[in-house]
Chain A
Amino acid sequence: MKRLVAHVMDNWKVISLTFEIFWIGVFVLHAAASTGTQVAQFVYVNF
């Protein structure tokens, strides 16, 4: 368990980036597949 935690901590950046890229891919594909789904404009753009 300790080795696993140490491994995760050592490679935290790669793991988190891979996780984020995977979910970005999933959400982009989902948005592309469902017609009419639009990403909302940034809240602060209107300010």
Chain B
Amino acid sequence: MLPWWRFDFYYGAEFWVALVAAVLLVRVLGGGPRLRGWAMLACSAALLLAVPTFGARDLALVGCVAAVSFGVSRRLLRPAGALSERTRWVLAVLGVAAVLGTLVVFKYRWAQEILWMRRRAGAVGPTEYVFLVGVSYFSFKAVHVVVDSYKRAIPDLDPLAYLNYILFFPSFISGPIQRYPDFAPQMHAPRLGNARVDLQVGAERIVHGLFKKLVLVQILTPYILTSPTRPLEQRSFAGFLVGVYAYAAYAYLDFSGYSDLAIGSARLLGFELPENFSWPFLQKNIREFWTNWHMTLTSWLVDYVYWPLARKLREWDFFRARPVSLSVVCMIATFLACGAWHGESANFLIWGAYHGVGISILIVYQRQKRKIRNRGVQRYFSSRTSRVLGSVAAAHYFTFGTILFALDMDKLRTLASTLFH
């Protein structure tokens, strides 16, 4: 790629100039869906190749994953009777395994260490690791398409729309994770939406995102728990608390700001992406919090981890007779998967378990709540006070959970020794 064609997404003048050029190209050529599809694909490829850590080989690898998942899904969508149910199941498992294999290999150091060590003896140098930008997000999309094709929840797959779906540059790096049945009709629409409305709504969204990222996040950065200017050992207890609250606010503003930029940029191009955040800190309990925090990931985990596991476990008499235990086991397993996805060190697993246990406690509490017959207590449960206290508790549960997210095991040990000695 040309040496000057390198820039990070969403900040820096070069990205915005390239986005304006893409908007003009897609909207000018957007008369028909086919031409628009090719224009969109060319823009996505060109902009992704500008990402400093993404090259032509990476693009080819993503293309291979797209080709494999598309081929498998197309076969799964053949008319009933064309393939036996056993063959369809094997195909779906192989398709999901191929995609998840790519995710594991290009996301986790331990997987690369196993592969590299097998090829040659000796330790892996820090520069030898190969990570693939956006691997999580395009893998989630591909798994969704394979599984939903197996369930025949997707009516049809078009190669150009599918490639655009996987490579769509505004959401390629960090989502939101759109579902194919939401994306394809927008790609196949005879005309793009009203340009004036799209440009206005998209531009407003981009301003909100830039304000969060360039102003609010920059103000918070020096105070967060992981700030290099304020090491953990030098913080007082009050300074530590400020760091925890600042980190939670920082994580929200940083990622919801990113989501605003992705949603706004897509809208400029005439595409609507799903929302990723809806006032999570104002929700009445920790389960509602998660339903409104990184919503597209949460719903993906519910559809492709929680429910398949719950359906499988329900086949056992033990869990059929104990629905609460079933929910608790599935919830903890889902959040462990969520933690493992966020990072490979042990603190992320603990963080996942923390949230799985938190929601499990809520499930048990809500079941016990319904058994209370006292009218005064029931009136309190449906009161505004109960709701406000629930919101405060949920927000604090999440906020203090960010300690497990932000600090690795060594720093957590340092923190424990500072706090308890």
Interface of A with B (CB < 8 Å)? 13, 17, 20-21, 23-24, 26-28, 31, 39-45, 47
Contact = CB atoms under 8 A, between A and B. Distances in A.
B207 interface: yes
A36 to B, nearest CB: 14
Give the size range of B's interface with the partner. 20 to 34
Given A39-B11, A47-B136, A17 B173 contact: no
Q: Interface of chain B, helix or strand or loop or mixed?
A: helix
Interface of B: 8, 10-11, 133, 136, 173-175, 204, 207-208, 210-211, 213-215, 217-218, 221, 250-251, 254-255, 258, 341-343
B254 A42 contact: yes
6 contacts: A20-B207, A24-B211, A39-B213, A43-B250, A44-B255, A45-B174
A44 B214 contact: no
A42 B255 contact: yes
Q: Interface of chain A, helix or strand or loop or mixed?
A: helix
A24 B215 contact: yes
State the 7 A-B residue pairs at the shortest beta-carbon distance, nearest first. A20-B211, A44-B174, A23-B215, A43-B254, A42-B258, A27-B214, A44-B255
Contacts of B133: 45
Contacts of B207: 17, 20-21, 24
A42 B258 CA distance: 7
Given A20-B208, A24-B207, A39-B11, A47 B215 contact: no
A21 B214 CA distance: 11
Given A17-B204, A20-B207, A44 B215 contact: no
A39 B136 CA distance: 23
A25 to B, nearest CB: 10
Nearest to B261: A42
A45 B258 CA distance: 9
A28 B214 contact: yes
A39 B214 contact: yes
Contacts of B250: 43
A44 B258 contact: yes
Given A31-B214, A45-B133, A47-B136, 16 more contacts: A17-B207, A20-B207, A20-B210, A21-B207, A23-B215, A24-B207, A39-B213, A42-B174, A42-B258, A43-B250, A43-B255, A44-B174, A44-B175, A44-B255, A45-B173, A45-B258
B395 to A, nearest CB: 19
Given A17-B207, A20-B208, A24-B211, A43 B218 contact: no
Contacts of A47: 136, 174, 341-343
A42 B171 CA distance: 13
Contacts of A24: 207, 210-211, 214-215
A28 B258 CA distance: 17
Contacts of A26: 215
Nearest to B53: A45
A31 B11 CA distance: 12
B139 to A, nearest CB: 11
